[in-house]
Amino acid sequence: MNLPLALIATRARAQRVTVLTGAGVSAESGVPTFRDAQTGLWAQFRPEELATPGAFRRNPRLVWEWYAWRRQLVAGVQPNPAHHALAELERRVPQFTLITQNVDGLHQRAGSRAVVELHGNITRTKCFEEDTLVETWPETSEVPPRCPRCGGLLRPDVVWFEESLPAAALALAHERSAACDVFLSIGTSTVVYPAAELPFHALASGATVVEINPQPTPLTAKAEYVLAGAAGEVLPELVAAIELFRHG
């Protein structure tokens, strides 16, 4: 991709970089996104039937098994060059914050350390009643399994629709979006709030906002740079170009 030199120069000088990622970053690992017409999860399943507290109360087995299927899928894939490029950027930028809407844990598996998980993580399990994490539970044929402490049903540690995001993660995400030199919005349809307001917060604070997405989103018209390509191709190129710019 033909990267604008001004963007490379700005990115190379940036001391504070904040990144927001969505499902598009994991697409090249083989993890379905949500709203892509053919392959998106919401094209095949209805979120109201799977990703809400009400859905879980109505049919806990269905919801648990759907997340067990997604957990198994994620366990079977690898981080892609987009994840690795972001882990590389973190090592080169004085203040780098990676905010993700993804629950697949692939950023951490690629070596990213400062990951702000806005929507939780599918590899963690918590008690539906106590809302506390549960590491182990007695093997049983019951689905979902039960909390060893209170006997409540277990559920994935992810944020469902109608639920609040983890307050500390959201506060940090707002803080780092409003105080950065460059904000990269990567692989997100920018339609689910409050995550979707973060790039606009960065814009309002004067950051250089860059969107990386093969499709347009509500941010596209406002971003200073729009790199309309796949994250797994664009990000490694951007990291290489910045390195070249810095060290000639």
Strand partners, 209: 183
Residue with nearest beta carbon to ligand OAD: 24
CB of 15 to ligand OAD, least distance (A): 26
8 vs 41, beta carbon nearer ligand OAD: 41
Side-chain half-sphere of 54: how many Cα atoms within 13 Å?
A: 6
15 vs 78, beta carbon nearer ligand OAD: 78
CB of 138 to ligand OAD, least distance (A): 29
Burial class from Cβ neighbours inside 10 Å (0-12, 13-18, 19+) for residue 74 reads buried
Residues that bind ligand OAD (CB under 6 A): 22-24, 27-28, 33-36, 40, 47, 51, 101, 119, 159, 161, 187-189, 192, 212-215, 217, 230-232
| Cα-trace Rg, the chain | 19
- Is the dihedral angle over the CA atoms 140, 109, 29, 100 positive or is it negative? positive
Residues acting as catalytic residues: 119
36 vs 129, beta carbon nearer ligand OAD: 36
Rounded distance between C-alpha atoms, residue 53 and residue 39, angstroms: 25
Q: Is 20 helix (H, G, I), strand (E, B) or coil?
A: strand
CB of 205 to ligand OAD, least distance (A): 22
Rounded distance between C-alpha atoms, residue 63 and residue 237, angstroms: 39
| Most distant CA pair in the chain, distance | 61
Q: Taking each helix axis as running N to C, give the angle between helix 231-247 and helix 5-13, from 0 to 180 degrees, rounded to the nearest 10.
A: 70
CB of 65 to ligand OAD, least distance (A): 17
Query: Which pair of structure tokens corresponds to residue 102?
Result: 């993804």
CB of 160 to ligand OAD, least distance (A): 6
Q: How many CB atoms lie within 10 A of CB 248?
A: 5
87 vs 146, beta carbon nearer ligand OAD: 87
Strand partners, 133: 126
117 vs 181, beta carbon nearer ligand OAD: 117
Query: Which pair of structure tokens corresponds to residue 217?
Result: 């989103």
